[in-house]
Amino acid sequence: MEITSTQLKELRDKTGISVMQCKTALLEAEGDMDKAIIILKKKRSEAAEKKSDRELGAGAVGVYVHNTNEVAAMVLLACETDFVSKNEEFLVLANDIAIHVAGMNPGFISRDELPADAVEKAKEVFAPELEGKPDDMKEKIMEGKLSSYFEEQILMEQDFIKNPDTTIKEMIDGGVQKFGENVSIMKISRVSVK
């Protein structure tokens, strides 16, 4: 199958991924643009997983101050090298995440940061809702309730404020795929008048 330069350009414009990765995805998808996007998203997660243990030695601070001057946010987005940390697209990613933090006010970056006592208290609140349910389903139901409750508070699990079709985790995984380095949110901070 022959992939045209128009197809490559369209996929690259939609994803920001390298021409070679776009070509490979289009070939695998037999020219189907929607399938190629799904293939690239799948490979995005795989790429992020492979690079997740690499040492982070550089980064950038994304900053956003709302036009009312009543809310602001800062995000420390880390990467492996200065080369990536000074890349315009990396800086845009850091600032986009800062905008999201200002608007959504997440309490935690990832699920790992949830305090054990907060999880236990949530379990206590949801426990009465499990009464009368089959024992073999109670654990799964509780997991679903906890996941749904905490999802709103965990940055990596939130839908991006400017594009609800993408989560913050998918944006970070996309950064790993695009830059070829481990990328991670190290710190978030938000201040507000109200």
Q: Is 77 within 8 Å of 108 (Cβ atoms)?
A: no
pLDDT for 56: 75
Report d(CA 170, CA 117) in Å as an integer.
Answer: 28
Q: What is the pLDDT of residue 86?
A: 94
Give burial (CB, 10 Å; 0-12/13-18/19+) of 34. exposed
Measure the CA–CA gap between 6 and 12, rounded to whole angstroms: 10
Q: Are 125 and 138 in contact (CB under 8 A)?
A: no
With 0-12 / 13-18 / 19 or more C-beta atoms within 10 angstroms meaning exposed / middle / buried, residue 191 is exposed
> For residue 43, what pLDDT is reported?
75
Can you say whether the dihedral through the CA atoms of 39, 44, 45, 46 is positive or negative?
positive
Encoded tokens for 45: 């997660």
In the chain (194 residues long), the average pLDDT of successive 10-residue segments reads 84 79 86 85 69 77 95 95 93 97 95 89 89 86 88 92 92 89 94 91
- Long-range contact pairs involving 169-173 (C-beta distance under 8 Å, separation at least 24): 170/41, 170/44, 171/93, 171/96, 171/97, 172/48, 173/44, 173/45, 173/47, 173/48
Report DSSP letters for 34-51, one per residue. Answer: HHHHHHHHHHHHHHHHHH
Amino acid at 114: L
User: What was the pLDDT predicted at 5?
Assistant: 86
In this prediction, residue 66 carries a pLDDT of 95
Q: What is the per-residue pLDDT for 51?
A: 63
Rounded CA separation 143/64 (Å): 34
Give the type of residue at 26: L
